[in-house]
Structure 1
Amino acid sequence: MTSTSVTALAIIAALILVLHIAAGTVLAHPPTNPSPDMLTDDATCPGEAKPPVSSSPFD
């Protein structure tokens, strides 16, 4: 084997090692928990929300 092919194999091996470690780090973290607001059953669509009622100036 020539020195260029050895260098290319070393670069490829280093990249595979880095990707392997990075993938292991990403996959090791558990998924985040949903926020407590998302756990309620009374969640509404923003289109269904009623507009705020302004107070009357005559009160």
Structure 2
Amino acid sequence: MGHIKEPAGVDFVINSRPLTKKEETAISEYIRTYKAKHSNKQIQTKRTPRKTTAQKNMEV
């Protein structure tokens, strides 16, 4: 999320209503299932092939 710079003399006021218990549980359940689904993914790293000494000698 980006930061919004307030212009001189202007105040941004955000009034949001409180969440109901039903909304809180729905959000919590979504976060719980998202974490369970995505937590066991492993980060794939790229592997570069190693040069053997024969390949190094041929390049020279």
> Normalized against structure 1, the TM-score is what?
0.43
Which protein has the larger Cα radius of gyration, Structure 1 or Structure 2? Answer: 1
